[in-house]
């Protein structure tokens, strides 16, 4: 059995249904050895602050209570230890403003929660494979955030 592309995947999602959907998408895909779940921004930051381990990929919902998805994203991209972990932003809306702000905060990719389950599953799969095969990507070129 070949090793899976990802050792650890962190899903940050407040909506249980959506988290379950993602889990089922990933099930049997043989993408990640372990899938961690955070229910909100606070929990996500707690998990990320664990220095003993580091996820290979973060799937991050933007619409989180208390600490928003963008806040988590900014935190990740400012922390030199986890800065290189790719972050895929999840959102229900394909709004221009969401997309721009996500990329402004240096999100690596952007995934719309698709209504069609099969399509969604395929996209999740592709993203997992892509970032998995990148396997420890080279340090990102230093990029100042576009925000002033």
Partner 1 sequence: MIENRHDASGADSRQPSISRGQTGVWLGVLVFLGFLALISFLAFQGRSELLRSEVELTEQAGRLRMRILHAALLVEQLYLEEESERRILRGQELEREIDVLRESEREILHSEIVRELPFEVETLERTFAEYLEKLERVASGEFDPGTLERVRELASLDGLVKLQEGLVTSILDNSQEELSLIERLRSFILAVESLVLLLSGLCIFRPMDRRIRRESRALEEVNEKLRQKAHDLDQTVATLRGLRSEDQRRTRAMLSITEDLELKRQELELKAKQRQRARKLSRSAVEAAPNGMLMINVEGEIVLVNSQVEKLFRYSKDELLGRPVEILIPHRYRLDHPRHRRSYFLAPEARPMGGDRELVGLRSDGTEFPVEVGLNPLETDEGVFVMASVVDITERRESELQLANYRSELEAKNSELEEILYIVTHDLKSPLVTLQGFTGLLLRHLENDDREKVMDAAERIQRATSRMSHLLEDLLQLSRVGRVEDDFTCLDLNAVLEEVRESLAPQLEERQARLVLEEGLPWLNFSQTRLTQIFDNLLNNALKYGCPEPDMTIEVGSERRDGEILLYVRDRGPGVPTEYHKQIFLLFQRLDSRDEEGTGLGLAIVSKILELVGGTIWIDSDRGHGSTFWIRFPPCLLKTDAERLEETHA
- The residues of the shown chain that bind partner 1, judged by CB under 8 A, are 14-18, 20-21, 24, 39-40, 63-66, 91-93, 95, 97, 113-118, 120
Nearer to partner 1, 5 or 72 (CB): 72
Nearer to partner 1, 5 or 25 (CB): 25
Q: How far is CA 22 from the centre of its chain?
A: 12
The distance of closest approach from Cβ of residue 49 to partner 1 in the complex, given in angstroms and rounded to an integer, is 19
Radius of gyration of the chain (CA): 14
The distance of closest approach from Cβ of residue 141 to partner 1 in the complex, given in angstroms and rounded to an integer, is 32
Concatenating the DSSP letter of every residue in 45-92 gives HHHHT-TT---SEEEEES--SSS-HHHHHHHHHH-TTTTTS-EEEEES
Nearer to partner 1, 66 or 78 (CB): 66
CA distance 70 to 65: 11
> What are 68's two structure tokens?
């928003």
Nearer to partner 1, 8 or 63 (CB): 63
The distance of closest approach from Cβ of residue 5 to partner 1 in the complex, given in angstroms and rounded to an integer, is 23
The distance of closest approach from Cβ of residue 18 to partner 1 in the complex, given in angstroms and rounded to an integer, is 6
CA distance 110 to 91: 8
């Amino acid at each position: 059995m070949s090793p899976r592309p990802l050792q650890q995947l962190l899903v940050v999602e407040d909506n249980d249904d959506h988290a379950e959907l993602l889990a089922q998408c990933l099930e049997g895909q043989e993408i990640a050895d372990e899938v961690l779940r955070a229910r909100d921004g606070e929990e996500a930051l707690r998990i990320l602050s664990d220095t003993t381990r580091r996820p290979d990929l973060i799937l991050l919902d933007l619409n989180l209570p208390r600490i928003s998805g963008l806040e988590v994203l900014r935190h990740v991209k400012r922390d030199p230890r986890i800065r290189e972990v790719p972050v895929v932003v999840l959102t229900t809306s394909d709004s221009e403003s969401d997309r721009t702000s996500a990329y402004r905060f240096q999100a690596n990719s952007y995934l719309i929660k698709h209504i069609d389950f099969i399509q969604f599953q395929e996209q999740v799969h592709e993203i997992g494979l892509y970032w998995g095969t990148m396997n420890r990507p080279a340090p990102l070129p230093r990029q100042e955030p576009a925000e002033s």
